Amino acid sequence: MSETTATLYEQLGGEAAVNAAVDIFYRKVLSDHRINRFFDNTDMDKQAAKQKSFLTMAFGGPNNYSGADMRQAHAHLVKKMGLDDSHFDAVVENLAATLQELNVPQNLINQVAAIAESTRNDVLDR
Amino acid sequence: MSSHKISVNDREIVCESGETVLDACLRENVDIPYGCRQGACQSCMVRSLQGPPPLAAQDGLKDVLCHQNHFLACLCYPQQDMAISISSPAEFFTEATVIEKSLLNAETLQLTLQCKETMDYYAGQFVNLKRADGLTRSYSIANNRLHANKLSFHIRRLAGGRFSEWAHQELNVGDKLEVSDPQGLCYYLPTQQENNLLLVGTGSGLAPLAGIISEALHHGHKGAIHLFHGSREMDGLYWIAEMQALAAQFPNFHYTPCISRGDAPDGVAKGRANDVAMTLLPSLKGWRLYLCGHPDMVHQTKRQAFLHGAALQDIHADAFHVASATLD
Tell me the chain A residues in contact with residue B36 when contact means C-beta distances shorter than 8 Å.
53, 63-64
pLDDT exceeds 90 at position B82: yes
* A6 within domain boundaries: no
* pLDDT more than 90, % of chain B: 71
> Is residue A74 annotated as involved in ligand binding?
yes
Model pLDDT, residue A91: 96
- A62·B38 Cβ contact <8 A: yes
What topology does CATH give the domain B93-180? Elongation Factor Tu (Ef-tu); domain 3 (2.40.30)
pTM (2 d.p.): 0.81
Residues 6 or more apart in contact with residue B81 via CB below 8 angstroms = B4, B5, B6, B7
Task: Kindly state whether residue A5 falls inside one of the protein's structural domains.
Answer: no
Q: Beta-carbon neighbour count of residue B27 at 10 Å?
A: 13
Q: What percent of chain B is predicted at pLDDT more than 70?
A: 96
Inspect the interface and report whether the beta carbons of B38 and A63 lie closer than 8 Å. yes
The partner residue sitting opposite B312, judged by closest CB among A48, A50, A63, is A48
pLDDT given at position B146: 77
How far out from the chain centre does Cα B316 lie?
7
CA-to-CA distance for B75 and B54, rounded, in angstroms? Answer: 9
| pLDDT, mean of residues A23-33 | 95
Give the model's confidence band at A119: pLDDT under 50 very low, under 70 low, under 90 confident, else very high.
very high
Predicted confidence (pLDDT) per residue in B3-47, tens digit: 999 999 889 999 999 999 999 999 999 988 887 788 877 778 999
Q: Is residue A55 part of a domain?
A: yes
Contact A53 B306 (CB under 8 A): no
CB A115 within 8 Å of CB A57? yes
Burial of B151 (0-12, 13-18, 19+ CB in 10 A): buried
Name which of A27, A49, A56 is nearest B306 (Cβ-Cβ).
A27
Give the per-residue pLDDT at A89. 97
A7 in a domain, yes or no? no
pLDDT category, B120, cuts 50, 70, 90?
confident
A41 falls within a domain: yes
Each residue's pLDDT tens digit, B154-166: 999 988 889 999 9
Specify the pLDDT at position B91. 64
So what's the pLDDT on residue A46? 87
Give the Cα separation of B154 and B172 in Å (integer): 15
Within a domain: residue A2?
no
pLDDT at residue B327 in the model: 43
Q: Which of A19, A26, A49 sits opposite B41 (nearest CB)?
A: A49
pLDDT band at B1 (very low <50, low <70, confident <90, very high): low
Q: Which residues of B touch A (CB under 8 A)?
A: 35-38, 40-42, 60, 302-303, 306-307, 311-312, 315
Judge whether A104 lies within some domain: yes
Judged by CB atoms closer than 8 Å, whether chains meet at B36 and A64 is answered as yes
Report the percentage of chain A scoring pLDDT > 90. Answer: 75
Cβ separation A31–B42 shorter than 8 A: no
- Chain B residue numbers with beta carbons less than 8 Å from the beta carbon of A52 are 40-41, 60
Higher pLDDT, B68 or B241: B241
CB contact under 8 A, B302 and A44: yes
pLDDT at A3: 53
- pLDDT grade for B93, boundaries at 50, 70 and 90: confident
Nearest chain B Cα distance for residue A42, angstroms: 9
Rounded mean pLDDT, B47-56: 93
- CATH fold for the domain made of B197-319: Rossmann fold (3.40.50)
Q: Do B289 and B282 touch, CB atoms closer than 8 A?
A: no
Number of structural domains in chain A: 1
Q: What is the pLDDT of residues B180-234, one digit of tens each?
A: 888 888 889 888 899 999 999 999 999 999 999 999 999 999 999 999 999 999 9
Tens digits of residue pLDDT in B239-283 = 999 999 999 999 999 999 999 998 999 999 999 999 999 999 999
CATH of the domain at A114: 1.10.490.10
Question: Which residues, in sequence order, are CB contacts of A114 under 8 Å at separation 6+?
Answer: none
- A16 at interface of B, judged by CB pairs closer than 8 A: no
> Least CA distance to A62: which residue of chain B?
B38
A44 touches chain B (CB under 8 A): yes
Question: pLDDT band at residue B63, thresholds of 50, 70 and 90?
Answer: confident
For chain B, the structural domain boundaries read 4-85, 93-180, 197-319
Residue B47 main-chain phi, psi, to 5 deg:
-125, 135
Q: Which of A23, A30, A52 sits opposite B40 (nearest CB)?
A: A52
The 8-class DSSP code of residue B298 comes to H
Taking chain B, what is the end-to-end CA distance rounded to the nearest angstrom?
A: 56
Determine, yes or no, domain membership for A22. Answer: yes
User: How many contacts, defined by CB atoms under 8 Å, are there between A and B?
Assistant: 39
How far is residue B35's CA from residue B72's CA, in Å, rounded to a whole number?
11
CA B212 to the chain's CA centroid: 9
Which of B41, B307, B311 is closest, CB to CB, to A53?
B41
CATH class of B4-85: alpha beta
What is the ipTM metric for this complex? 0.84
Identify the band that residue B328 occupies on the pLDDT scale cut at 50, 70 and 90.
very low
Query: Is A56:B39 a contact under the CB 8 Å cutoff?
Result: no
